[in-house]
Amino acid sequence: ARHVHDIEFQDVASPKSRQTPKLLELAGSPFEPKLLDRNRLSVLEGGWQLSGAHGDIKEGIWLDENRVQHRVAIKSPKYSELDKHREAIARELRVLATVPGHPNIVTVVGFCLTDGPLIVEEFMATNLEAVLCGADQGLTYDEIIRISLDVARGLDHLHEHGVTHYDIKPSNILMDGEFNAKLADFSCSELKLASSMSLAVRGSAGYIAPEIVEKGLCSRRGGPGRHFPTDKVDVYSFGKVMLECVTGSLNPENAAAERICHGPLWELIRACVSGCPKERPGCKRIVERLEGMVKDEGGWEPGWKARRPMQEISQAS
């Protein structure tokens, strides 16, 4: 199989390049991305921009073959330690090669490879980190459950196709104006690992699963560490995100939250952040439980979905 970073750039404006070649195959699924002409891309002056761990993301405009303008997000590697960040971008492309489109995973428009790789994605108005920072009284139960359900569905889709994200956190959950959520930033992701023993330590402080931390400590001591299911790493990080949405904190030991929070939601959060990977539910089960909350199965207090748990927990603490 050819690798993304080995492919020569072709101008999509030329007749020859309009017939997109099969560039690589991973997990038996052909990746036929759109090779974009860099001359049809431009960064929007004064537009939105963000600096991530491996790349800078800027709001831009892409001019398609019919000369229609599209608002996009343009991701490029950081200039410091350029080779390392280029490899992270290449890894992201290889991961995206194996995953069919999904409503809760950011859509990749295409990419460029000359003069440094670029990934061009659909533009999303904001991310969950910004939403949480801007919500002084916190989100409502309804908003939390619906955002969590979107993320869980996206994760379930990744896991079904053999991909573990490894860096689920609010800044990697993109949001549109209607609070629909999509997973983004696959620079830490990995394809079907035969064993967790081959896994490098990765993730973000506060959201990283304890078994990943343990593996890092064992590696420094020269030991192999223990085996664990890699998809449950994402479940732990997902649980921490839900915890932050509900309480404003990453600490699950919260007596006020346990007393005040909607019981089924709090039970799900505590299960997801269990220190034992095997005790965490899989994403399919998480989706089922959240869908039950959306339908309000079993009932609770009238109008409970409009309540803001973070505000109530803060007042009770």
Catalytic residue positions, numbered? 167
Angle of CA points 263, 128, 283, to nearest 5°: 50
Q: Which two tokens stand for residue 75?
A: 């991701």
Q: Which helix (H) or strand (E) holds 131?
A: helix 128-134
Q: Which two tokens stand for residue 10?
A: 């072709």
Structure-derived torsion over alpha carbons of residues 273, 239, 206, 307, reported in degrees to the nearest 10: -120
Reduced to 3 states (helix: H, G, I; strand: E, B; else coil), residue 317 is coil
With beta carbons less than 8 A apart as the criterion, state whether 265 and 246 touch. yes
HSE-CB for 184 with a 13 A CA cutoff: 30
290/101 Cα distance (integer angstroms)? 22
